[in-house]
Structure 1
Amino acid sequence: MAVNNEEGEERLVGSNSSVIRTTTISELPGKSFGITVEIPIFLTMMGLAFIGTPITNILMYRTCFHVKNYSDSECKVFLSPDRTNVTKHIEEEVQIYTTFINVVRDILESLVPAVLSFFLGVWSDTYGRKPLIVWPLLGIALSRMLIVVFSLLNNIGPWWFILTSVPFSLSGGYIVLFTGIFCYLNDITTSRNKSLRMTILEASIAVGIMVGSIITFYLIRAVGNVYVILISASLAAIAYAFAVLHLRESLTGALDSGITTVLDFLLVKEMFRECFKRRPNNGRAQILLLCFANVLPVFILYGIIGLEYMYARTKIHWALKQYTVYSAANTSISFFGSLVGVALIQRLFGISDLAFVLIAFLSFIAEYLTKAFATLGWHMYLGASISLFKGLTSPLIRSFLTKILPVEDIAKVFAFMCALEGICPLISSALYNTLYAGTIGVFPGAIYLLSAGFSGASFIMVGFVQYYIWKGSRTPTYTTLVET
Structure 2
Amino acid sequence: MLDETVVPESESDVMVRRARRPGSTIELSFFMTTLGLSLTGVAISNLILYRTCVHVLRHGRAECSSFLAVDKTNDTQYLEKEVQRYAIFVNSTKSVLESLAPAVLSLFLGSWSDRHGRKPLIVWPLFGIATTSMLVLIYSMVDVGPWWFILTSVPYSLAGGVATLSTGSYSYMSDVTSTEKRTARMFTVQLAASGGVVAGSLLSAPVLRAVGAVYLLLAGASVAAFTYAFTNVFLNESLTGVVQGSMTSIMDLQLVTDMSRECFRRRPNNGRAQVLVVAAASSLSAFVTFGIMNLEYLYTREKLHWTLSEFTVYSAVNTLLSFFGGLIGMSVLQGLFKISDLPLAAVAFVSAAAEYVAKTLAVDSWHMYLGASLAIFKGLSASLLRSFVSKVLPADVVTKFLALMSAVESLCPLLAPLVYSTLYGATVSTAPASVYVLSTGIIVFCIVLIGVVLYFRRHATTPYEVLQPEPF
Does the alignment reach a TM-score above 0.5? yes
Q: 2: distance between equivalents of 1:35 and 1:81?
A: 40
Partner of 2:8: none
> Which letter maps to 1:474?
T
1:271 paired with 2:259, answer: yes
Aligned partners of 1:106 and 1:429 also within 8 Å: yes
SS state at 1:449 partner:
helix
Partner of 1:340: 328
SS state at 1:249 partner:
coil
1:322 paired with 2:314, answer: no
> Which letter maps to 1:50?
L
Query: Deviating runs (4+, > 3 A) in structure 1?
Result: 27-30, 32-35, 475-482
Q: 2: distance between equivalents of 1:363 and 1:383?
A: 9
Considering only aligned residues, what root-mean-square deviation do their CA atoms show, in Å? 1.5
Deviations 1:142-185 (A, max 9, x none): 0110000000012x111110110111111111111111111111
Q: 2:105 aligns with which of 113, 116, 141?
A: 116
In the TM superposition, 1:29-428 aligns within 5 A as 31-33=20-22, 36-154=25-143, 156-428=144-416
Residues 479, 60 of structure 1: CA spacing in aligned structure 2 closer, same or farther, 3 A cutoff? Answer: closer
Deviations 1:337-360 (A, max 9, x none): 112211233121121211111111
SS state at 2:411 partner:
helix
Residues 215, 408 of structure 1: CA spacing in aligned structure 2 closer, same or farther, 3 A cutoff? Answer: same
Partner of 1:483: 470
> Which letter maps to 2:124?
W
SS state at 1:103 partner:
helix
TM-score, L = length of structure 2: 0.95
> Which letter maps to 1:49?
S
Aligned partners of 1:59 and 1:98 also within 8 Å: yes
Q: 2:435 aligns with which of 447, 455, 462?
A: 447
The aligned length equals 460
Q: 2:419 aligns with which of 412, 431, 451?
A: 431
Residues 284, 43 of structure 1: CA spacing in aligned structure 2 closer, same or farther, 3 A cutoff? Answer: same
Aligned partners of 2:116 and 2:243 also within 8 Å: yes
Q: Which structure carries more relative contact order (alpha carbon 8 Å, separation 6+)?
A: 2
Q: 2: distance between equivalents of 1:33 and 1:421?
A: 31
Aligned partners of 1:139 and 1:167 also within 8 Å: yes
Aligned partners of 2:34 and 2:197 also within 8 Å: yes
**1:31 shift after superposition:** 2.0
Segment drifting more, 403-412 vs 141-150: 403-412
Residues 48, 28 of structure 1: CA spacing in aligned structure 2 closer, same or farther, 3 A cutoff? Answer: same
Q: 2: distance between equivalents of 1:317 and 1:376?
A: 10
Runs of 5+ in structure 2 lacking a partner?
1-11
**1:226 shift after superposition:** 1.6
SS state at 2:78 partner:
helix
SS state at 1:89 partner:
coil
Instruction: State the percentage of identical aligned residues.
Output: 46
Deviations 1:21-66 (A, max 9, x none): xx96526458254662111111111111012111111111111111
Q: 1: distance between equivalents of 2:205 and 2:344?
A: 35
TM-score, L = length of structure 1: 0.93
Q: 1: distance between equivalents of 2:360 and 2:127?
A: 38
Aligned partners of 2:29 and 2:227 also within 8 Å: yes
SS state at 1:351 partner:
coil
Aligned partners of 2:18 and 2:238 also within 8 Å: no
1:474 paired with 2:466, answer: no
Aligned partners of 1:274 and 1:409 also within 8 Å: yes
Q: 1: distance between equivalents of 2:131 and 2:118?
A: 21
Q: 2: distance between equivalents of 1:306 and 1:229?
A: 19
